[in-house]
Amino acid sequence: MKKLKNMEGEEEEDAAAAAAADDRPNNPFDALTEEIIHLILDRLGDDDPLAHKSFSLACKSFLSAESRHRRSLRPRCSDLLPLIPRRYPFISRLDLSLCPRVDDEALAALARSWSSTLRSVDLSRSRFFGHAGLSSLVANCAGLVEVDLSNATQLTDGAAKAIAEAKNLERLRMGRCKLITDMGVGCIAVGCRKLTLLCLKWCLRVSDLGVGLIAMKCADMRSLDLSYLPITEKSLQPVLKLRNLEELILEGCPGVHDDGLATLKESCPSLKVLNLSNCQNVSYVGLSSLTSEAQCLQQLILSYGSPVTADLGKSLHKFSGLQVVRLDACMVTCSGMKEMVNWSACLKELSLSKCVGVTDDCLSLLVQTQRELRKLDITCCRKITYASINSITSSCSSLCSLRMELCTLVSTDAYLLIGQRCQNLEELDLTDNDIDDEVLMSISRCSKLRILKLGICLKVTDDGLKHIGRHCLSLTELDLYRSMGITDASIAEIALGCPALEMINMAYNENVTDAALISLSKCPRLKALEIRGCPYVSSIGLSAIARGCRRLTLLDIKKCYNINDNGMLSLAQFSPNLRQINLSYCSVTDVGLLALASINCLQIMTILHVAGLTQSGLAAALLACRCLLKVKLHMSFKSSFPESLISYIEARGCVFQWRDKVRQEDEVSDGMRTRFI
């Protein structure tokens, strides 16, 4: 009730502010028609929700017009759902991914409120609804064309039967609905004849029978995801008869193998995208059977599959329209790559990440025949040297994305060629390579760079990074993980020269202090900040970030020992969009955590070895933080919390992850990336 009252209070405040604007003499906004106001709102777009709020506060007519104009909505909290339809009466696309608890009653109420307008609903991160809520949704919203039920592990065939009544449904996602069986899928096949997209990934109880029914009944199907299903060639036979099928995803299907595919009598001529990644039993024989008539094939994904042999290379000669090929983690033979050289296709994207067998000779030959490449991934190709980079940069001058993490044999001189020859680059990953300041000076010529990853580049210093800040003004993402030659000075240059910065990772850098954070606070678009293991940052710097970066959604401050309650209070006051935080090992007490819990958007927290917390303070914070989806805690709290408390919080949609991790004062680098937890 408190949050409902808060929303009512916000609406009253908005109305009061708008009314105050109306009281001004000769209000110029009164002359604008609603049509003109809607045109203005169209230009604002959906990227910045604060822009819409500011607009609605201009005057009362703007407040009303913005409410009637809005068609897409993403509520921050389940508790707010009852009041939303009153404010926004014409919603057509409803995204409930920030609402962990949506029960049948709430879903039915929303369906009744927007019965004539609602066309798309995203329930991919919501729980506690079932067939009753879905029945109400379908019965009230005849115009429904898209539903996302991914991760709804509680749904059974009864829910599928309810969805089957949505006769106009075109797109349905049911990934990880593990209780749905062939019977439920069969109901959908019979009832939803207009389906063009269906995702059944990880629906482990769906077999050939259910997939076959979909293929026979849904003739307009264009995209079908059957990843990790226990299916065989029996269901693929009718699937390949779908005349409009453009995308077929068979990732990780153990029952799909060469012997079965060889019996197929038909292939789908309209197929444009085929994903056979992680299908270890499919070689060029099975691939040829699947694609015998697929002359329109544009994307082929064979990652984590069989070796790339000469026979496989030959089998793809005929696909002149092929644009994207991904062979990640495949064993690549020299003869296989030489056959790829003879392809008639003009590739736009090629991924060879973690491919064992890629050598200078083969890669050089390949890129010389694929001069239109725009994206190339050679991550962990540890046999390539200067020769490969020389060929890539001289042949593929139109590259906009180059990923080459851990190419350990490439010399420093080779990296200079990137800046000299590939100045259209927008993404460059040089993580864990032997680069220095001279390389960064060369790369700074790539003025279109948006994403730059320099993690574990130990020779990089301020002198090099300053060039990036002065010349790469479009930078939105910068990774400096464990690049310990960087200090506050170059971060200041980045903040000054790259105002569009959205993400920066400075984890495990003892040279970064509050001065760097104060500089970054001038980047108003900053959404993700990772500063774990930076011992000299404190609440002073974090408070500056909170005040200046109001769009902050992800924050990692693990092992920032000088961040205390003052930093949490600033976040609570100025960071309403914060969704994910790791505050393990920080100097936060119950006061700070309770303040943090007041942030309505907060969904994921990691709280390990925070010595200032008490059992009662942590319990109070968890109770106050009503939108939590996941919280990671030390195992010691599990035994001390009442079982009823844990059950109550889980019933709201939160998942507990218990860790029995020993406290570590220092984390030793092993050359591997530490992911945000």
Long-range contacts of 570-575 (CB under 8 A, 24+ apart): 570/539, 570/542, 570/543, 570/546, 571/542, 571/546, 571/595, 571/596, 571/599, 572/596, 572/598, 572/599, 573/546, 574/546, 574/547, 574/550, 575/546, 575/549, 575/550, 575/599
Do 60 and 15 form a contact (C-beta atoms < 8 A)? yes
pLDDT for residue 671: 37
pTM here is 0.90
- Is residue 213 pLDDT above 60, yes or no? yes
- Is residue 626 pLDDT above 60, yes or no? yes
Mean pLDDT of 253-275: 89
| DSSP states along 143-179 | T--EEE-TT-TT--HHHHHHHTT-TT--EEE-TT-TT
- Rounded to 5 degrees, φ, ψ at 400 are -115, -15
pLDDT for residue 471: 97
pLDDT for residue 669: 39
Query: 294 falls in which pLDDT band (50, 70, 90)?
Result: confident
pLDDT for residue 47: 63
pLDDT in tens, 385-422: 999 999 999 999 899 999 999 999 999 999 999 999 99
pLDDT for residue 466: 97
Give the contacts of 47 (CB within 8 A, at least 6 positions apart). none
Query: 22 falls in which pLDDT band (50, 70, 90)?
Result: low
Percent of the chain residues past pLDDT 90, beyond the cut = 78
- Is residue 673 pLDDT above 80, yes or no? no
Mean pLDDT of 633-651: 93
- Is residue 211 pLDDT above 60, yes or no? yes
pLDDT for residue 278: 97
Neighbours of 660 (CB within 10 A): 8
Mean pLDDT of 27-44: 74
Helix 386-395 vs helix 412-421: angle between axes, to the nearest 10 degrees? 0
374: helix, coil or strand? coil
- Is residue 423 pLDDT above 70, yes or no? yes
Q: Any idea what DSSP says for residue 663?
A: P
- Is residue 676 pLDDT above 80, yes or no? no
More confident call, 615 vs 100: 615
Do 163 and 173 form a contact (C-beta atoms < 8 A)? no
657, two tokens = 């992850």
Query: 48 falls in which pLDDT band (50, 70, 90)?
Result: low
pLDDT for residue 667: 44
Give the contacts of 347 (CB within 8 A, at least 6 positions apart). 322, 323, 324, 325, 370, 372, 373
pLDDT for residue 458: 95
Range of weakest confidence among 5-9, 106-110, 512-516, 530-534: 5-9
pLDDT in tens, 344-364: 899 999 999 999 999 999 999
Mean pLDDT score of the chain: 91
Q: Any idea what DSSP says for residue 400?
A: S
- Rounded to 5 degrees, φ, ψ at 90 are -125, 40
pLDDT in tens, 164-199: 999 999 999 999 999 999 999 999 999 999 999 999
pLDDT in tens, 113-160: 999 999 999 999 998 999 999 999 999 999 999 999 999 999 999 999
pLDDT in tens, 322-343: 999 999 999 999 999 999 998 9
Query: Which position has the token pair 């060629």?
Result: 417
Nearest to 83, CA basis, from 113, 119, 52, 62? 113
- Is residue 474 pLDDT above 80, yes or no? yes
From CA 244, how far away is CA 270, in angstroms rounded? 6
pLDDT in tens, 214-252: 999 999 999 999 999 999 999 999 999 999 999 999 999
